[in-house]
Amino acid sequence: MKIAVGTQDRRTIATHGGRTRCFLLFEAEAGRDPVESGRIELAEDEVLHLCGDGRPHPIDAASVVITGASGPGFVAHMRRRGIEPVTTLETDPVQAIRDWFAGAIQTAPPPAHPHEHHDGGGHDDDASHGASVAV
């Protein structure tokens, strides 16, 4: 199974799934250590916050996406793509995958202010705002 883990520094789990531009891809199965198998590097206009559901996207290669806190829009967006969204307080990608398989993941709470972003934007992670990206 392919699991994508959002990261900004390629070592720890990113805290905002909708704005993350890098995802580590792992081949993983229960009872075995996950093996990193690649990366998804997104252009600024491909971040999941901006990408509509109707077009193919590089994240579609994953069955599960693990990030830090993510808003309800991001969760809904992933589910519409057939991807299981997982949020975690864990910062180590491999440990988060192990925890997910063990049913012991410490789920991150949704952000307190889903409309508040570092860039001053006023949208939550829901792609229903009409934004779409050609990939």
pLDDT digits 0-9 by tens, 16-66: 888 899 999 999 999 999 999 999 999 888 888 777 667 889 999 999 999
In a domain, 134, yes or no: no
Domain residues for 16?
2-111+118-128
Q: What is the pTM of this model?
A: 0.79
Output the pLDDT for position 128: 32
pLDDT (0 to 100) of residue 123: 37
Q: Is the pLDDT of residue 118 over 60?
A: no
Provide the strand spans (E) within 28-103: 35-41, 64-67, 84-87
Task: State mean pLDDT over 105-124.
Answer: 55
Q: Is residue 92 a part of any domain in this protein?
A: yes
In a domain, 23, yes or no: yes
Average pLDDT over residues 98-109: 90
- Structural domain total, the chain: 1
* CATH code at position 17: 3.30.420.130
Q: Which residue has the higher pLDDT, 127 or 11?
A: 11
Question: What is d(CA 65, CA 26) in angstroms, rounded to the nearest whole number?
Answer: 10
Does 133 map to a domain?
Answer: no
